Structure formats: structure tokens, C-alpha cells
Amino acid sequence: MGEKTVIILHSGDMDKVYSALIIANGALAMGMEASIYFTFWGLMRLKKGELDKGPLSKMNMLGLGRQMIKQRMNKANVASLERLMNDFKELGGKIIACEMTMEIMGLSKEELRTEWIDEWGAVGSYIQEARNANVTLFI
């Protein structure tokens, strides 16, 4: 078995979703396997049309901070979240959607971007994925 990175994405904050996808894509580019377990507010970013809708974790300022950061990212040619997600999937990244969170938040599979999701699971799915990982992160 090769090296593996497994990330729990608990936050739905824009900057933290960026962090998870950038790290996961970096792992894939370095020849590692990479999985992201989307749970709680992180799972909300898998809703149709919601990937880039999260607030900024700090200095959101009613959305003004988020707008400023997005402008600076565009100026610096940082890839969009949609592009990062598509790259992640094209490079072989795995997405696990937390079924318990879906139940708690009242989400149905039809509300989510199912084309990105490889597995529907709970904590056991995450543990199975992470048990032999070289890198595990909670974001």
C-alpha cells in the first residue's frame, strides 16, 4: 500500500475548504492517495451550488472580508474551489460524505453533488480510511 493522506473537513468556511483541497491535491500530485471525509458544515459545501458559498473563518465582516480575499485570490491566479475539486477528482481523490450529518442536517442525496461523492459512510468509514494513513488532518 502506498502513502495516504486523509482529511476530515468539518468546517464549511471558504478558506478551510481551500486548505483541504490544496493539501489533498498536493498529496495526489506527490503520488499519495488522498481522501476527504466531509462532515457537519464541511458537508454543506457539497450541496449543489454551495461549494464556494462558505464564509471566511476570520475577518468575514458580513461578507466584505470574504469578497476582499476572493479578489486577492483572483489577482494571484489562485484556482477556484470548483477547479480544485475537479482536479482532486481527476487525480483520483476520494470523497466520503457523512450519512449521520446528512440525517442531522436533513439533507438528501439529491441535494448533493453526487458526481463527486465516492462513498456514503459514517465514522467507521473514516476510521477504515484513516487507519493506515501517513497523514491525517482535521480541518
pLDDT in tens, 68-97: 888 888 899 999 999 999 999 999 999 999
Assess if residue 34 is contained within a domain.
yes
Q: Which residues contact 50 (CB under 8 A, 6 or more apart)?
A: 44
Asked whether 25 and 78 are in contact (CB, 8 A), the reply is no
Assess if residue 14 is contained within a domain.
yes
What is the average pLDDT score of the chain? Answer: 94
Asked whether 101 and 43 are in contact (CB, 8 A), the reply is yes
The more confident residue out of 64 and 20 is 20
Assess if residue 101 is contained within a domain.
no
CB hemisphere CA count around 43 (13 angstroms): 24
Assess if residue 82 is contained within a domain.
yes
Assess if residue 116 is contained within a domain.
no
Mean pLDDT of 12-29: 97
Assess if residue 88 is contained within a domain.
yes
Position 70 scores a pLDDT of 84
Strand partners, 7: 36, 137
Position 69 scores a pLDDT of 85
Looking at the structure of the chain, the number of domains it has is 1
> pLDDT class for 1, splitting at 50, 70, 90?
low
Q: Is 49 left (phi over 0), alpha (psi -120 to 50) or beta?
A: left
Assess if residue 118 is contained within a domain.
no
State the CATH number of the domain containing residue 75: 3.40.1260.10
Range of the domain at 34: 2-95+131-136
Position 113 scores a pLDDT of 98
Return the percent helix, strand and coil in the chain, to nearest 5. Answer: 45, 20, 35
Mean pLDDT of 38-44: 98
Assess if residue 102 is contained within a domain.
no
Position 112 scores a pLDDT of 98
Cα(132)–Cα(53) distance, integer angstroms: 33
Provide the 10 A C-beta neighbour count for residue 48.
10
